[in-house]
Amino acid sequence: MRNKWASCSTAGRVYFSADLLSQPVSFQDQVIAHELLHLLIPNHGALFKSFMNAYLPQSHATRAKHIACSRPTKA
């Protein structure tokens, strides 16, 4: 995976970038929770955001800040 930390397919498969392993555990938790939640909710609507905040309070702000600062390396 070159440009994303992770993705979830419509078939229910979740993929993670190997680069995620070099990130802080708190960020890894957020990415994993985000992708697993996509197995239930396919979009980023209000319900998705509510669930993310329920599982990981303040995750949106932390994740957005981290994503803006670093991306997986392009190979």
Whether 74 is covered by a domain: the verdict is: no
Instruction: Report the mean per-residue pLDDT for the chain.
Output: 83
pLDDT at 69 (0 to 100) = 52
Residue 1 lies in a domain: no
Which pLDDT tens digit goes with each residue over 35-66?
999 999 999 999 999 999 898 887 665 665 56
**Residue whose C-alpha is closest to residue 35's, from 24, 51, 46, 23:** 51
Residue 17's pLDDT band (boundaries 50, 70, 90)?
very high
**Neighbour tally for 17: CB within 10 Å:** 19
Does residue 63 lie in a domain region? yes
Q: Which domain holds residue 50?
A: 6-69
Number of domains observed in the structure of the chain:
1
Is 37 within the bounds of a domain?
A: yes
Task: Pick the closest to residue 24 from 54, 63, 60, 57 (CA basis).
Answer: 63
The confidence score (pLDDT) of residue 46 equals: 94
Q: Is residue 58 part of a domain?
A: yes
pLDDT at 58: 73
Report d(CA 74, CA 33) in Å as an integer. 24
